[in-house]
Amino acid sequence: MKNMKSVALNCLLVCCFTFTSLCLIAQVAPDQDTNPDLSCPASGEFQNDDTRVVDIPNSVNVGTVDDRSCYSDYSESSAYGQTWGVYNITHLSNHWDAPNTLQPRIERSMPRSVETGVGSYARFTGTLRILEVGDATGTSNDGSYLMQTKGKHTGGGGPADPAICLYLAMPVYGDDGNGNIAQVSFDIVREQINFRGGSGAAGRSIVFLKNVGKDELVDIELEVGFRADPDNPNLKIHYSDAVIGGEAFNWNIPEPERGLESGIRYGAYRVKGGRAQMRWANTTYQKNEVVDNSDPAPCTDCIALRNVETGQFLTAAGGSAQPVTMSNSREAINTHWRLVDSGNYINIDSYSQTGGTGILRAPGAGGPGGAYVVLSTTKAPPAGDTDKTWTVHYDATTDTYRFESRTAGRFLYQNADGTVTHIEVPATDNRSVWEGIPTDVVSSLEIAESNVKSIRLYPNPVRQNEDLTIESESQQAYQIFNLQGMLIKSGTEKTIKMDLEKGVYFLKQQNSSSVEKFIVY
């Protein structure tokens, strides 16, 4: 195996730089499709409208095939003393999905690892040869995916089965020795999410990994799973680690606490011009399941929303599109909420790990729960949807909030029958007034209650990187503590730049027993 790899790689390098006659012959792989016709056969040979699982008996590649290309079904070839799975797709050859929606593909998937305890993982290995990738005339749509890690998460956001990290082969062009421009090698890049559900230019980042030659035999390892956080034994990391041609490229997935499963797909996917050809051999797969019995990670910026009139707490429903409810206790995690910045508005986001795990929705008169009934969702923040954004009205005198559904003039309201709606109502109606109570306990900061406040902070809540103004009779220095009572900032200025993480904080002036709570969002 090593000798064959060395011959293939050395021949490629000679071809790229000296173009000897021997290597010119090797420029075309022994099992490469060189047919200039990239259209699906007029005969409809590969047209199959009954199932996307078009496989051959006892295929050499592991996993269940997903074939969405009428150009060529999965087949196998012999080259370099091995049997290879053949994955050939062409532009516009997806005959399954609606036009201009999903890309052509022949991919294989394996059973997901559905537990999230430390030690759970899905692991794939194989040997890859890249012969050709999608050519979209030098645009950002060049290239084809060779493998990806998948995993659903709490809170929604993105497609129902979101990709976490995709590994993309981008074409590198050169002279084929006959004066023709051809794909001579490929840059492998990692297209990774910036946040759960991230997609498009804003939701993903591109990271270059390495270059591999055309028809080079490249050993691949891909593992996605959960491991302990070395910096905090109470936390875990959701990772997507790859080894490509002997080089390790590890990456930690954002928001690990929201991960629900780990999966892998491989083959050939996406071709927005031309043709893609991948060859896979020696594929293996294994997974391990470890139940996560730990408590959810504490939310350092969560509050419980207590209705001033009833003393009850706003509670996320058990699933999407179901009406929110009220509870007598704020202990349950579905009574914990975060205020997440969404442009000029906020999302009210549930910290629940199951059921209604997303942001609150405020439908109109024809809403699924009834007229103006507020619903749970599984959509993750930040989201700018008109029916899922709110304006916060804070009263510093009473330290209370009213939440207006965007600018509709309707406010979050607990009705006498316990239902929660958003309706037009005056500020004097306490059923539309809410207290924001930190869900964490303060371990060392004692807060003195006082009927007369000597400090006023505004605006409160305050956005990240905006200014918080201290208004008080004294000119004492201030101290800012987090929910755990740790001192995190101090100074003497009266206008403070909020360069803090989103969350709940307390400000205390020296030689004063008065402490004021404020929220950064």
CA–CA separation, 52 and 375 (whole Å): 37
Residue 64 bridge partners (DSSP) = 109
Burial class (CB in 10 A: 0-12, 13-18, 19+), 510: exposed
| Cβ neighbours of residue 294 closer than 8 Å, sequence gap 6 or more | 117, 234
Give, in degrees to the nearest 5, the angle at Cα 379 between 376 and 382.
Answer: 115
Q: Is the peptide bond before 459 cis (omega within 30 degrees of 0)?
A: yes
Nearest residue to 281 via CA among 224, 222, 219: 219
Nearest residue to 5 via CA among 179, 127, 101: 127
Which residue type does 216 have?
A: E
Residue 377 bridge partners (DSSP) = none
Return the C-alpha torsion angle 293, 297, 298, 304, nearest 10. -80
Whole-angstrom Cα Rg for the chain: 29
Nearest residue to 191 via CA among 220, 230, 163: 163
Question: Which is catalytic among the residues 71, 121, 266, 269?
Answer: 269
Whether residue 266 lies in the annotated active site = no
Q: What are phi and psi of 12, to 5 degrees?
A: -60, -45
In total, the chain counts a number of residues equal to 521
The Cβ of residue 284 has, within 10 Å, a number of other Cβ atoms equal to 10
DSSP symbols for 195-208: STT--HHHHEEEEE
Query: What H or E segment, with its residue span, contains residue 27?
Result: none
The Cβ of residue 501 has, within 10 Å, a number of other Cβ atoms equal to 12
DSSP symbols for 391-457: EEEEETTTTEEEEEETTSS-EEEE-TTS-EEEE---TT-GGG-EEEEESS--SS---B--SS-SEEE
Q: Is the peptide bond before 382 cis (omega within 30 degrees of 0)?
A: yes
Yes or no: say if 390 and 345 are a contact pair by the CB < 8 Å rule. Answer: yes
Whether residue 269 lies in the annotated active site = yes
Question: Which is catalytic among the residues 74, 150, 394, 478?
Answer: 150
DSSP symbols for 274-338: SEEEEEEEEEEEEEE-----SPPPP-TT-EEEEETTT--EEE--SSTT-B-EEES-S-SGGG-EE
Yes or no: say if 227 and 208 are a contact pair by the CB < 8 Å rule. Answer: no
Annotated active-site positions, please? 150, 269
